[in-house]
Chain A
Amino acid sequence: MTQWIDACATDEIDEEDLVRFDHDGRTFAIYHSPDGEFFCTDGLCTHEQVHLEDGLVMEYEIECPKHNATFDYRTGEAKRAPACVNLNTYRTKVENGRVLIEV
């Protein structure tokens, strides 16, 4: 059973950046893309479970701060070693200036 969770305000995330969001013992990364859309993935890199919150967002990719593994945050696809496993992604929507994620 999924539910929509209020994660953050839209203006809390710069364009081409991300924030960390923790909920119910789980951790997520929420992204603001260059064209103004919001996306959500698991917060931890699939390579060695390092949090992506300090990573670098370049266009539609997030680079892990520890080993530079890269993922497309729209699809979760692992684009560059050492990550080989894709990130889980979650649907998002914006309501009244808030970003909601479906978990």
Chain B
Amino acid sequence: MGLRDYSMLGPDARRAVETGLAAAEWYHTDISRKEMKELMKRSDDPAIRDTVILFGAMIVLAGLGIALWPSWWSAPFWLAYGVLYGSAMDSRWHECSHGTAFKTRRYNDWLYNVASFCMMRNPHTWRWSHARHHTDTIIVGRDPEIAVMRPPDFIRLIANLFGLVDVWHAIGRMLLNASGRLHPEEASYIPEAEQHRVIRVARIWVAIYAAVIALAVAMGSILPLMVIGLPRLYGAWHHIMTGLLQHGGLADNVIDHRLNSRTVYMNPVSRFIYWNMNYHVEHHMFPMVPYHQLPRLHEKIKHDLPAPNRSIPEALAEMIPALRRQLRNEDYFLKRELPTTARPYREDFHAEALGAAAQ
């Protein structure tokens, strides 16, 4: 395929539309309507429990960090608080953007807005970008949320473990939006009627950050920023690590999620932080299933999916060499074997559109 152009307004974007890869019909594993209705059923209880645990832990950890500040003894508490702020909020943002975390819509909306603030993602902009990510998952030029582009930029990926690239861009975008403007790419996927909301939120956030910075200056200490703002940097590593595993090293420009998404079995702490998004093939195939039902969905459809990676280290060991190989050959990707019980990959869906890529 050659050099990829990830711009939403470039030649790959146009080609995806022309060839029918954009907004295509995707492969789904068969599952009965009755079973799916059971799996899709909403409940407030699991997310209320998890949210109380999350915010309770954040209050205790930040409290201990403040109490021990500026001693180095406060560091472990800040590191743990940071992961909850800069990584667990990523998965809360994500689940609530789907509206599946809680049954009650206002609870979803509340947590979505809090998590969006922590992650520095404008809740309106990112609602639309994530909708596009689900319509055109890892379709070059269409998906605005491709974390690992080809060839992979390892310096960028490592810098982002500390939030450096994302936060730099987020601040620039927040200031641009607060000035009353949208980036042309944002304008390409956010309906005009929604654009004023983007600007309003950006202005509120600028005011909040200005107040925190003013407090830090008045106190002569970065302590206020250790609670609000900086954890987006020092706690980002977990969501970057798990986020890269979602699609890293797998196929692009396909319309079968089994080819471009990865399910990884994870330890309970990472699953709590990540809110079960380790079941990523399942989530993309059936995005209406709430996070707390994904393990059940996995059991029902795993016969049709590639075997999951058995741990985070195993998944990283699979992904990193594939990314390194993409430095030399952009068209390389991992194609995992399906079990004998699975229906074959529907490569005919996308092969006609773009021609078979090198494996």
Contact = CB atoms under 8 A, between A and B. Distances in A.
B40 interface: yes
Given A55-B288, A63-B288, A80-B105, A68 B135 contact: no
A36 B23 CA distance: 35
Contact of B135 (A55, A63, A67, A80): A67
B42 interface: yes
Contacts of A56: 37, 40, 42, 288
Nearest to A66: B134
Contacts of B42: 56, 58
B23 A48 contact: yes
B153 to A, nearest CB: 29
Nearest to B23: A48
Interface string B285-315: 0111000000000000000000000000000
Nearest to A47: B131
B272 to A, nearest CB: 23
A82 B36 CA distance: 22
Interface residues of A, number: 18
B123 to A, nearest CB: 10
Contacts of A70: 99
Interface residues of B, number: 22
A48 B142 CA distance: 14
A82 B131 contact: yes
A77 interface: no
Interface string A53-72: 01110100001011110100
Nearest to A81: B127
A67 B134 contact: yes
21 contacts: A17-B37, A48-B23, A48-B131, A48-B135, A49-B23, A54-B36, A55-B288, A56-B40, A56-B288, A58-B42, A58-B103, A63-B99, A66-B287, A67-B135, A68-B98, A68-B100, A68-B288, A80-B105, A82-B127, A82-B131, A84-B191
Interface of A: 17, 47-49, 54-56, 58, 63, 65-68, 70, 80-82, 84
Interface in B21-57: 23, 33, 36-37, 40, 42
A84 B191 CA distance: 8
A39 B103 CA distance: 23
B27 to A, nearest CB: 14
Nearest to A79: B105
B275 to A, nearest CB: 16
B40 A67 contact: no
B193 A68 contact: no
Nearest to A16: B37
Contacts of A55: 288
Nearest to B40: A56
B128 interface: yes
A58 B37 CA distance: 11
B337 interface: no
B194 interface: yes
Contacts of B23: 48-49
A62 to B, nearest CB: 11
Interface string B92-107: 0000001110010100
